[in-house]
Amino acid sequence: MYQYKYPHPSVTTDCVIFGFDGSKIKILLIQRGINPYKDQWALPGGFVHIDETAEEGARRELREETGVEQAEMYQFHTFSAVDRDPRERVITIAYYALVKMSEVRGGDDAKNAQWFALNELPTLAFDHQEIVERAIDELRRSIHFRPIGFDLMPEVFTMSQIQHLYEEILQHTFDRRNFAKKILRLGILVEAETRPENTPTRIPNKYRFDKDAYQALKQSSFMLEF
Amino acid sequence: MYQYKYPHPSVTTDCVIFGFDGSKIKILLIQRGINPYKDQWALPGGFVHIDETAEEGARRELREETGVEQAEMYQFHTFSAVDRDPRERVITIAYYALVKMSEVRGGDDAKNAQWFALNELPTLAFDHQEIVERAIDELRRSIHFRPIGFDLMPEVFTMSQIQHLYEEILQHTFDRRNFAKKILRLGILVEAETRPENTPTRIPNKYRFDKDAYQALKQSSFMLEF
DNA sequence: ACAAAAGTGTTAGGCCTACACCCATGA
DNA sequence: TCATGGGTGTAGGCCTAACACTTTTGT
């Protein structure tokens, strides 16, 4: 047993894991095996160990649930409503992660994990509905400062795939030509496989994300307007 | 005594309180009266009570230190390095606040509180240096989405005052005429006291922040570029 | 007298938006 | 053959950035 002079809250992390299947943004939920909220869907998460940082805890959870080792993770808010867990005072540090769906495998344990489109979310345990909404807000905000798209995309992708992603996040449709111009002007995309000259075809151009160019761009505090 | 099966961290809030004196951005620090880091400067903050949210705790601290009741407060990051407090595991939820310096009075207690310009900060206790740096980053980022200036400004202010503020935050100088055009075009400033026609003078025009117009503007997800 | 602060408009260039037609493919 | 997806360029408008001179006041 551990004893303290004053009451201490528990501290957990919860992780909103975003993926993109080429047309819809999805988040990964797990079905709870225990009470409270048994059998309901919830965000992956768990207690922060006493000898790890919140970020380490969140990455551990991400790895356990998805097998993904490298992913962009952002801490976006800490939720501290007094009664958000019926058992005891629990404060949760929330992260969102951007993963390539192709790299995700089922969780280590037998937990039931499943992707849900944002407009088809089930009822969520605890205050996880609020956490998800907040995460979407943050995603929408940070899209102006970070090339978020490329963390969610497969290595090679078409212009219309990435346009769909931006349209999903921003809930707005764009003109194809203008969108391509704007993205290409950033100079962080390279054509993945140049198509032979004389094959006018319906097969779209493929692009790849140029990490070096992006690193250079980041220095100049770029901003992407839509 | 309170007993738990697993070790629990302590949870605190820390608050980076920003003010603006007309030419420099300052933050409010207090001198610690007890160990560890006795006599060093630190951010105002304290333990989150078991029956209050983090936000309530942060507001309580702000009120105790400055007497300010109403101020914009934003939670921006939770710091959880394992050894950030030498006594025990302490996780801190960090906020920044935007206050009008004129409304700040000395703290309730005899704590030594003092404003410091950003480039004249003393050595700070704990990891507060890192917290401050992160807060400045967040301030710089959010200036594009919120009319931050007006929370730091006195009720009535001149165009060059607010320009100085933006220049301080963004570390960039602007052309006076272009800056004024850009700000005025937002339509959230009104002239406070129209000057008589025939007093061409060096005394600058005074402006006031139009809260209603700002509320309307916020709906349309505006963005301010510089 | 000189330096510092403030008032005031215009122009050129770049970016954004809107918009139409043709071709290839698969159903 | 019809619907869908994709490739391609231009013109107009708005915003941005750059820029100079005069007046006033305080030192």
Answer with the one of B89, B113, B142 that is the final residue of a domain. Answer: B142
| pLDDT classification of A110: cutoffs 50, 70, 90 | very low
Q: How far, in whole angstroms, is CA B63 from its chain's centroid?
A: 14
Query: Quick one: which H or E segment has residue B63?
Result: helix B54-66
Least confident piece of the model among A43-52, A180-189, A215-224: A215-224
Residues B95 and B112 in one domain: yes
Q: Which residue has the higher pLDDT, B93 or B172?
A: B93
- d(CA B208, CA B203) in angstroms, rounded, equals 16
Residue B225 lies in a domain: no
Three-class DSSP category at A23: coil
- d(CA A11, CA B85) in angstroms, rounded, equals 17
- d(CA A175, CA A122) in angstroms, rounded, equals 33
The CATH number assigned to the domain holding B100 equals 3.90.79.10
Rg, Å, chain B Cα set: 20
Residues A39 and A128 in one domain: yes
Q: What is the pLDDT of residues B28-78, one digit of tens each?
A: 999 999 989 999 999 999 999 999 999 999 999 999 988 999 899 999 999
The pLDDT of residue A111 is 63
Find the Å distance, CA of residue B163 to C1' of nucleotide D12. Answer: 33
Residue A206, domain extent: 149-219
Query: Quick one: which H or E segment has residue A112?
Result: strand A112-117
Find the Å distance, CA of residue A166 to C1' of nucleotide C9. Answer: 40
Q: Which residue of B has its CA nearest to A226?
A: B223
Q: What is the pLDDT of residues B197-209, one digit of tens each?
A: 555 566 778 999 8
Residues A84 and A169 in one domain: no
Tokens standing for B35?
A: 């160990």
Q: Which residue has the higher pLDDT, A219 or B114?
A: B114
In 3D space, the residue among B42, B139, B53 whose CA is nearest the CA of residue B98 turns out to be B139
Tokens standing for A213?
A: 């160019």
Tokens standing for B120?
A: 């004249």
Q: How far, in whole angstroms, is CA B35 from its chain's centroid?
A: 27
Max distance between CA atoms of chain B, in angstroms, equals 78
Q: How far, in whole angstroms, is CA B43 from its chain's centroid?
A: 12
Three-class DSSP category at B176: helix
Residue B5 lies in a domain: no
Question: Quick one: average pLDDT of B91-107?
Answer: 90
The CATH number assigned to the domain holding A173 equals 1.10.10.10
The pLDDT of residue A39 is 94
- d(CA A137, CA B44) in angstroms, rounded, equals 29
Is A200 a residue whose pLDDT tops 70? no
Residues 142-201 of A with CB under 8 A from B: 144-145
Residue A190 lies in a domain: yes
- d(CA A151, CA A23) in angstroms, rounded, equals 15
Q: Which residue of A has its CA nearest to B1?
A: A5
| CB contact A226 to B (< 8 Å) | no
Q: Using CB atoms, which residue from A9, A53, A78 is nearest to B75?
A: A78
Q: Using CB atoms, which residue from B5, B11, B51 is nearest to A11?
A: B11
Tokens standing for B204?
A: 């600058």
- d(CA B40, CA A182) in angstroms, rounded, equals 50
Kind of pairing, strands B10-20 and B90-98?
parallel
The pLDDT of residue A42 is 97
Residues B62 and B130 in one domain: yes
